[in-house]
Amino acid sequence: MTDLSRIRNVAIVGTHHSGKTTVAEAILAFTGAIARRGSVADGTTTTDHEPECIAHAQSTTAGFAHCTADGIVHITLADCPGFIDFFEETKQVLAGVDAAVVVVDADPSRVAHSLSVVEYLESRRLPHLFVINKMDRPGADFEGTLNALQSAYGRHVVAEQWPIGAAESFEGFVDLTDMKARRCDGDRESIAAFPESLRERIASARAQMLEAIADFDDHLLEELLEGAEPPLDEVERDLCAECSHDQIVPVLACAAATGAGIAALVRAIVTWLPSPADAPQLDVEGREIAPDADAPAVARVIKTMVHPQSGKLSMVRMIAGTIKPDATLNDLSRGDEKVRCAGLFRLQGKKQEALAQAGPGELVALARLETVSTGDVLTGNGRTVMLAHAPIADPVFAAAIKPKERMDEARLSQALSRIVDEDPALRTQRADVTNELLLLGSGEQHVTIAVERLSRKYKVDVEIAAPAIAYLETITVPTEIHSRYKHQTGGHGQFGDVWLRFEPRERGSGCAFAETIVGGVVPRQFIPAVEKGVFEALLHGTSGFPVTDVQVTLFDGQYHDVDSSEQSFRVAAGMAVRDALPKCKPVVLEPIVRVRVEVPSAFTSAVIAQLTGKRGQILGMTSSERTGFDVVEALVPHVELSRYITELRTATQGLGSYTWHHERYDPVPITKAVGPKAVV
Ligand SMILES: Nc1nc2c(ncn2[C@@H]2O[C@H](COP(=O)(O)OP(=O)(O)OP(=O)(O)O)[C@@H](O)[C@H]2O)c(=O)[nH]1
Ligand SMILES: [Mg+2]
């Protein structure tokens, strides 16, 4: 049985492209878990193994790997994608780890990009530390980045190291706890001469660190007030306790590409970040779930992977109990359904290492749990436990998707359901009005990569396009129309004769049919056929779009004893609609949506200008509950929003978000041309 205190489950999160995957690779290489360090550029890293990651040179999904530090502490790393489109996946993974390493670039201007994930860590009170990476890059600015982190996240974010040099002269660092200088040669460290030129700066950084630590330790505070030098072991003990309780957030420096600083980072993970014993997982009411190996199992599914050949793998966080490769578990999230595993693995990137059993605190993959999804809670022996959900945000981007070959339609819907099974932030939906099949997700890249994954894994070639806008048509003036359908084709003829009145109805009320026939001029049995003919013809107005908000009344007509039939009245009614619409001054209506945009206040005016440029009508601006954020509400034509999430994120350093719902239909401005037939 693994000693729980020797386990660390750590997510590597942070800003896009800050070097998370490179940090993970450097840790694996330093600890000897891999023989050779791969690189993102070559597509050879352990955690970015998915072909889409390699093709885009970025993480497109979370990757898992593990290593052993100092031969005793077993670390499982979850390398999370940094691009904001994949944040929903990161949130699910964070529900299964005990701590996080937040990697940021050594560039103060990029610190704001880490806001969403850091706020999320803070809201979950998940212990974390910062690593300022790319210290070897020209212009690397540790101090500026540290200041930016402190002003964004508060004074308990403190440097625990001070780098010696930067860019090509980045040599190592001074450890502010023991005040020893360490020189880095790749990922190896050696004690070096203290950099006297930095003594003053380092002393003040150390004082700041001690003051922050002393906020949670009165004894240390007294020592500092008396001007006494606190003993090393007291400082180390405090750092360890306060970091693992999310009171202090230490900041380290590294250059993952060269390995410099990685040894210290591994030390930090081992000594400061909590083990599953230090931070037991909580149930929905905040009660600790004892990580007891002998209790019935409790596991949370934090990620799902589907391999077209070898099948489904569910990555789970074992919270309690011990399971074997053929374990039978209850899926509490699916009405207690019984599921049976067909294999138990530990993942090293794409490699699956078979395990004989797994106990509390471990992150392992269970094979072939076909009905199980990310977020599900699995238990053994009928145990009931309620865990809090990591909610998944509603999609903000949609693409219309169809197979290149029509015969692939069934295969496409099957493949889509598997892709959605792997990634709960994706959804599929049939669009109202246009009837297109939509794939929805957290952003343009999220959906595009899902489509690439779908084509690769399930060999379905698809076309994607911006979803068609559900335009409608309506009339603005009333008219009355007479229409007669008369046809002689030997034998029976056809005869239908109707008088229809067309009147505009209130916007949003739809179409309605009525009749005021007296004296049987149109016999009762044919009236439903008239109604049918009317509604069929209203599906395609003068512009080709469906017609709405029209009252159609059958008020007169004629029939023929022999030749009249349902069919002839249906045709006559359709002809009447087609004749009437052009006479009723038709207009095209476009969907207007109400958007609620949340942005950091610094970007509010830019966002308002952006919405106005989209023909938006600003309804109001208020302060958000989220500190430093504003909420802007506006009515915007739907057609203007097809790429809005991308544009909004570009304009707001990735921090803007929005929700929307359909509000109403408005006439398209006279100058706008919309298909299928342009209206001018
Ligand atoms: N010079 C230098 N380049 C680095 C360092 N760390 C990472 N890089 C480069 O930065 C780029 C991004 O690195 P990744 O490791 O993919 O970054 P990431 O944070 O995992 O990216 P996403 O997962 O896509 O958000 C790659 O080209 C790396 O080679 C570093 O310490 N120094
Ligand atoms: Mg990455």
SS3 86: helix
pLDDT at 670 over 80: no
- Smallest-distance ligand from the CA of 16: 1
Stretch 340-350: mean pLDDT: 96
Taking each continuous run of H as one helix and of E as one strand, the counts in the chain are 15, 32
Q: Measure 40 CA to ligand 1 centroid, in angstroms.
A: 7
Residue 86, in any domain of the structure = yes
* CATH code for the domain of 443: 3.30.70.870
pLDDT at residue 675 tops 70: no
Is 67 a member of any domain?
Answer: yes
Residue that terminates a domain, selected from 416, 436, 465: 465
| Tokens linked to 456 | 């690769």
Q: Do 637 and 493 have their domain in common?
A: no
Same domain, 341 and 195: no
End-to-end CA distance of the chain: 75
pLDDT tens for each residue of 567-590: 999 999 999 999 999 999 999 999
Residue 676 pLDDT exceeds 60: no
Instruction: Enter the tokens of residue 620.
Output: 């109001």
Angle of CA points 65, 66, 71, to nearest 5°:
160
Strand order in the sheet with 180-185: 161-164, 172-175, 180-185, 188-192
Does the pLDDT value for residue 193 go beyond 70?
Answer: yes
Q: Which atom of ligand 1 is nearest to the CA of 258?
A: 31
Q: From the CA of 101, which ligand is nearest?
A: 1
Do 186 and 322 sit in the same domain of this protein? no
State pLDDT tens for residues 110-126: 999 999 999 999 999 99
208 with 316, same domain? Answer: no
Across 26-50, average pLDDT: 96
* CA distance to 282, 409, 412, 520, per residue, from 402 (Å): 43, 8, 8, 49
Same domain, residue pair 440 and 523? no
The confidence score (pLDDT) of residue 206 equals 96
Phi, psi of 147 (to 5 degrees): -60, -40
Instruction: Give, using CA atoms, the residue closest to atom 8 of ligand 1.
Output: 19
C-alpha to C-alpha distance for 97 and 123, rounded to whole angstroms: 15
CB count, 10 Å around CB of 631? 17
53 lies in the same domain as 26: yes
Output the CA 17–ligand 2 centroid distance in Å: 7
Q: What pLDDT shows up at residue 669?
A: 86
d(CA 318, CA 463): 40
Torsion of CA 343, 349, 350, 355, to 10 degrees: -20
The helix (H) or strand (E) run that includes residue 389 is none
Instruction: Give the mutation target among 18, 22, 53, 59 for probing the ligand 1 site: most ligand atoms within 8 A of CB.
Output: 22
**What is the value of pTM for the model shown?**
0.90
Q: Do both 526 and 608 map to the same domain? A: no
d(CA 424, CA 434): 25
Closest CA to 637 of 476, 475, 470: 470
The atom of ligand 1 lying closest to the CA of 103 is 19
Segment 600-618, tens digit of pLDDT: 999 999 999 999 999 999 9
197 and 64 in a single domain? The answer is: yes
Domain limits for position 352 = 298-379
pLDDT for residue 307? 84
> What is d(CA 296, CA 223) in angstroms, rounded to the nearest whole number?
48
CB crowding 131-166: b at 16 or more within 10 Å, else e: bbbbbbbeebbbbbbbebbbebbeebbbbbbbbbbb
Predicted pLDDT of residue 673? 57
pLDDT tens figures, 213-244 = 999 999 999 999 999 889 999 999 999 999 99
Kindly identify the ligand whose nearest atom is closest to the C-alpha of 49. Answer: 2
User: Of 27, 40, 101, which is best to mutate to test ligand 1, by the most ligand atoms within 8 angstroms of its C-beta?
Assistant: 40
Look at residue 121 and tell me if it is in a domain. Answer: yes
Q: Which domain CATH number covers 143? A: 3.40.50.300
- Reported as a single tens digit per residue, the pLDDT across 140-150 is 999 999 999 99
What pLDDT shows up at residue 249?
97
For 391-432, what is each residue's pLDDT tens digit? 899 999 999 999 998 888 889 999 999 999 999 999 999 998
Rounded-to-integer distance, Cα 219 and Cα 234, Å: 10
pLDDT at 308: 77
Separation between Cα atoms, residue 287 and residue 672, nearest integer Å:
59
pLDDT, one tens digit per residue, over 285-323 is 989 999 999 999 999 999 999 987 778 999 999 999 999
Question: Last residue of a domain, which of 585, 601, 632?
Answer: 585
Structural domain contains residue 287: no
For the ranges 367-371, 490-494, 641-645, the lowest mean pLDDT is seen at 490-494
Mean pLDDT score across all residues of the chain: 94
Predicted local distance difference test score (pLDDT) of residue 677: 46
Tokens 């006479």 found at? 583
Is 276 a domain residue?
no
pLDDT on residue 299? 96
The bridge status of strand 157-159 relative to strand 249-253 is parallel
Confidence of residue 678 (pLDDT cuts 50, 70, 90): very low
Q: Report CA(300)–ligand 2 centroid distance (Å).
A: 24
Residue of 12, 13, 17, 53 to mutate, ligand 1, most atoms within 8 A of C-beta:
17
**What is the predicted pLDDT for the residue at 382?**
83
Which ligand 1 atom lies nearest to the CA of residue 133? 31
Ligand 1 lining (C-beta closer than 6 Å): 16-22, 39-41, 58-59, 81-83, 103, 133-134, 136-137, 255-257
**Nearest Cα residue to 448 out of 468, 424, 464, 430:** 464
Residue among 333, 345, 323 nearest 371 (CA): 333
Interval 63-105: pLDDT, tens: 999 999 998 999 999 999 999 999 999 999 999 999 999 999 9
- In whole angstroms, what separates CA 115 from the centre of its chain? 15
Residue 144 counted as domain residue: yes
* pLDDT tens, position by position, 473-511: 999 999 999 999 998 876 778 999 999 999 999 999 999
* CA 544/CA 492 separation, integer angstroms: 34
- Say how many Å lie between the CA of residue 80 and the centre of ligand 2: 6
291 in any annotated domain: no
Is 26 in the same domain as 93? yes
Return the pLDDT at 20.
98
The CATH number linked to 503 is 3.30.230.10
The arrangement of strands across the sheet holding 397-403 comes to 427-430, 437-441, 397-403, 462-465
Q: Total domain count for the chain? A: 5
How high is the pLDDT of residue 280?
Answer: 84
Residue 331 within any structural domain of the chain: yes
One domain for residues 315 and 457: no
Residue whose Cα lies nearest atom 10 of ligand 1: it is 19
Q: Is there a single domain that holds both residue 357 and residue 408?
A: no
Same domain, 230 and 374: no
